[in-house]
Structure 1
Amino acid sequence: MRVLVIGRGGREHAIVWALSKSPKISKLFCAPGNGGIAGLAECVPITELQFEEISTFAKEQAIDLVMVAPDDPLAAGLVDHLESKGIEAFGPRANAAIIEGSKVFMKELLKKYSIPTAAYETFDAYEPALAYLRSQKAPIVIKADGLAAGKGVTVAQTMEEAEAALRDIMVDQVFGKSGASVVIEEFLTGQEMSLLAFVDGSTVRLMVPSQDHKPVFDNDKGPNTGGMGTYSPLPHIPESIVQEALVNIVQPTADAMVKEGRPFKGVLYAGLILTPNGVKTIEFNARFGDPETQVILPRLKTDLLDIFLAINNGTLAEQPIEWSEDAAVCVIVASGGYPGPYPKGLPITGLENVQDSLVFHAGTALENGQIVTNGGRVLGITGIGKDIVEARQKAYADADRIHFDGKHYRTDIAMKALK
């Protein structure tokens, strides 16, 4: 088969890496790809939202399957567009991807079907939102309704911070149209867990659980990012909690989407928190998480293409899925200044010195034969080992072997599993 993956980050590098192991794939493309993906697939200079160019390329190259990985093209309807042209695509249609594209939709769906989540209110005007906010107490969570590259959520520790976040979103419109509406919700405390699932409408098959680290600095300090590292499995979270999440949250959400006439087919990501009152939903995403994918797919023993095809064919219930017992720890190496402004085009050295880890390129480019920085999160270094301790040691040893000006990373990834 000839397969095209849409996207350019660490998630897409991990997906391309997994698909490259499939004996069924004769040719692999990625649009637009990055400096690391270029070693596994032919990178095509078409961006994620160039729908006509993507469908034309797919027709010209006789592509058998287009795998749409990022949130923006899913929410904008790339899968619908490709299907309208007679091209097979993997990922939810726009009417299902709205579960990530609109936080207001997601919260109201959960409320309608009594699926556990934080208490909240939604607003589409600034003054009522501000009045409500002032009736609450900090800490409190402010969320822009639409997609904001993982940066539309503020966990405000003070009311001043909360009011500033609300003003940024609704008055200064720092996220554009994504901030036309907001969700203001209660702050929940507890361990967080990312639970991804393969879904073909009504059949839900959980992937191995993982835990992300959003704040930029050690001990969960500093502003939120797209994710500074992740690990799997979660030895400190019992299987009974995972099953509770499946029964009370993930399966009911898939069923609710079917009832709403929006069947979800693809990868459904549940961001969960383990509160004293049970597991609750923080968010849903309509695709593989980043960087969770960089620890989940290295543990997958089954051919990823077979799973994609089973979802598209509605036969996921019959598809065997096997996972490795190994542990995986991913450390994100980021640009100086991230998640604020950061430089690009800095040469990266030492990649050839990596010994024990998978290196997934998140924000890199290939310029005149030299890999250079091209994003805030530059590389994901994934160590694999018999347990978290071994995987962690490998990831950090290899992160130290790579150099570029201003690089930084958290030093405490996966420590929660060891405490």
Structure 2
Amino acid sequence: MKILILGNGGREHAIGKKLFEDNPSINIYFYPGNGGTSLIGKNIENYHSTLELGFFAKKNGIDITIVGSEIFLMEKIVDIFHDFGLKIIGPNYLSSQLEVDRSFSKDFMKKYGISSPKYEVFSCYDKAVSFLEKKTKPLVIKTNGIAGGKGVFLVKNKNEAKKALKTIMIEKKFGNSGNKIIIEDYLQGIEASIISIFNGKHIIPFISAKDYKKIGENEIGVNTGGMGSIVPNPYMTNSVWLYFKKNILNPTLKGLILEKLIFFGFLYFGLMITSNKVYLLEYNVRMGDPETQALLPLMESNLLNIIQSIFLKKKIYISWKKLYSCCVVLSSNGYPENYDIGKMISGLDSLKEPFYIAGANKKKDKWITSSGRVLNIIGIGNTLKEARYKAYDKVKKIKFDNLYFRKDIGL
């Protein structure tokens, strides 16, 4: 069995590790991968387009490809692999619009009565400013396109709102992703992440997770790709699950089938739990990062068997350990803005599993930072408190210049 995993972060390392632990005889390829993925498989190089990756997969007899990073979805990788007659886990280009085009996604939610915040869409800066002049309550401003998890601004007043608009639409900090923007009602509550599997017929949810998106403790500062996560999310009570399934999951499934947005892959629900309701904030059509890193160590089922079952359209049953998981992301100071790389990491070779490489490479037996998010350290325990303690105890063993991490993950 040959598997190709697309992406270069901790999520892809976690997927590869889980597959390899369950099935030691498989051969795993990563593109582009990182220093951690090279230890469990082969990082392939010198492929500069999705078409070239398709030729590689066909020539080398890749049995299944898993799309980790959303970047590949924008390049129609699934459609191209289907043209090659290859099996790939991920949405075709039309279905990927649920993530890569927020206005498409919001219109889908509205059409199928899915519980979500009220919103307006703007492609004109002046019209957006005029709309904001009439508003007095906090709002959320989002780029229409994907921005690595960073194109979301919570604005509490008109000055903050105009500054966010200028950043997105005038200064073009997020490029073409900011050509159109979404302005939606701000909701006070607790966020939850539900990663699920869609096999074209059923949506099978994983256990819940909580992501910590902001760079600063107590959820302050700019948005990042994620600074930590816990599993399960303590706020996903039975009543919240029931509300989610009735008002979000079931109408989503109905809409996907009626709109012919059929694919074999992962579907992520980003939720907001308020005092009296649960809202859907966004869809992702791949596994979340760093939620995946906290989830997979608790999965008892064989991940490869689950993935193979997706193509059969059969109901999938997933077994989970009755434990808690806490993931702490170690980053380069300055992330997600400006940061230095090339810093030597100490303590990594003696670190106990589980942990994942997000942005580091090994050069002459030394680990060197290569990105903003560097390592994902995982603690597992019988309680969330124990899992958190174990994660931060492991964090103490890692050293590198400009090391930064949040100290409140799991509190």
TM-score normalised by the chain length of structure 2: 0.97
Find the aligned partners of 2:194 and 2:332 in 1 and give their Cα distance: 28
Q: Name the SS for the 2:262 alignment partner.
A: coil
Mapped pair 1:386 → 2:382: yes
Letter in structure 2 aligned against 1:394: K
Q: Name the SS for the 2:349 alignment partner.
A: helix
Structure 2 counterpart of 1:399:
395
Conserved 8 A contact 2:50-2:75: no
Alpha-carbon displacement from aligned partner over 1:64-114 (angstroms, at most 9, x marks no partner) = 111111111123210110110111111111111110001101111111111
Q: Name the SS for the 2:378 alignment partner.
A: strand
Q: Name the SS for the 2:361 alignment partner.
A: strand
Shift of 1:24: 7.7
Conserved 8 A contact 2:151-2:223: no
Structure 2 counterpart of 1:15:
15
Residue of structure 1 aligned with 2:347, choices 337, 346, 350: 350
Find the aligned partners of 1:397 and 1:276 in 2 and give their Cα distance: 34
Find the aligned partners of 1:153 and 1:344 in 2 and give their Cα distance: 25
Relative to structure 1, the CA distance from residue 46 to residue 109 in structure 2 (aligned partners, 3 Å threshold; closer, same or farther) is farther
Letter in structure 2 aligned against 1:130: V
Find the aligned partners of 2:12 and 2:230 in 1 and give their Cα distance: 18
Find the aligned partners of 1:265 and 1:255 in 2 and give their Cα distance: 16
Q: How does 1:113-124 map to 2 (within 5 A)?
A: 113-124=112-123
Structure 1 counterpart of 2:107:
108
Alignment root-mean-square deviation, CA: 1.4
Letter in structure 2 aligned against 1:22: D
Structure 1 counterpart of 2:362:
366
Q: Name the SS for the 2:98 alignment partner.
A: helix
Comparing 142-151 with 234-243, greater Cα deviation is found at: 234-243
Find the aligned partners of 2:257 and 2:108 in 1 and give their Cα distance: 12
Find the aligned partners of 2:369 and 2:386 in 1 and give their Cα distance: 28
Alpha-carbon displacement from aligned partner over 1:254-280 (angstroms, at most 9, x marks no partner) = 220221121243111011011233100
Q: How does 1:4-403 map to 2 (within 5 A)?
A: 4-23=4-23, 25-46=25-46, 50-315=49-314, 317=315, 319-355=316-352, 357-403=353-399
Relative to structure 1, the CA distance from residue 325 to residue 260 in structure 2 (aligned partners, 3 Å threshold; closer, same or farther) is same
Moved over 3 A (4+): none
Alpha-carbon displacement from aligned partner over 1:163-188 (angstroms, at most 9, x marks no partner) = 11111111221111111110001100
Find the aligned partners of 1:159 and 1:309 in 2 and give their Cα distance: 50
Comparing 63-72 with 236-245, greater Cα deviation is found at: 236-245
Which structure 2 segments of 5+ residues have no match? none
Shift of 1:251: 2.5
Conserved 8 A contact 2:208-2:236: no
Find the aligned partners of 2:321 and 2:51 in 1 and give their Cα distance: 39
TM-score normalised by the chain length of structure 1: 0.95
Comparing 176-185 with 242-251, greater Cα deviation is found at: 242-251
Q: What is the aligned-residue identity percentage?
A: 36
Find the aligned partners of 2:157 and 2:330 in 1 and give their Cα distance: 30
Find the aligned partners of 1:247 and 1:10 in 2 and give their Cα distance: 33
Alpha-carbon displacement from aligned partner over 1:214-272 (angstroms, at most 9, x marks no partner) = 11111111111111100011234312212321221122112202211212431110110
Letter in structure 2 aligned against 1:314: K
Alpha-carbon displacement from aligned partner over 1:277-320 (angstroms, at most 9, x marks no partner) = 310011111110000001111111111111111112222x1x33
Which structure 1 segments of 5+ residues have no match? none
- Report the number of matched residues: 411
Q: Name the SS for the 1:174 alignment partner.
A: coil
Find the aligned partners of 1:202 and 1:219 in 2 and give their Cα distance: 40
Find the aligned partners of 2:146 and 2:304 in 1 and give their Cα distance: 28
Q: Name the SS for the 2:261 alignment partner.
A: coil
Conserved 8 A contact 1:31-1:43: yes
Q: Name the SS for the 2:14 alignment partner.
A: helix
Conserved 8 A contact 1:202-1:255: no
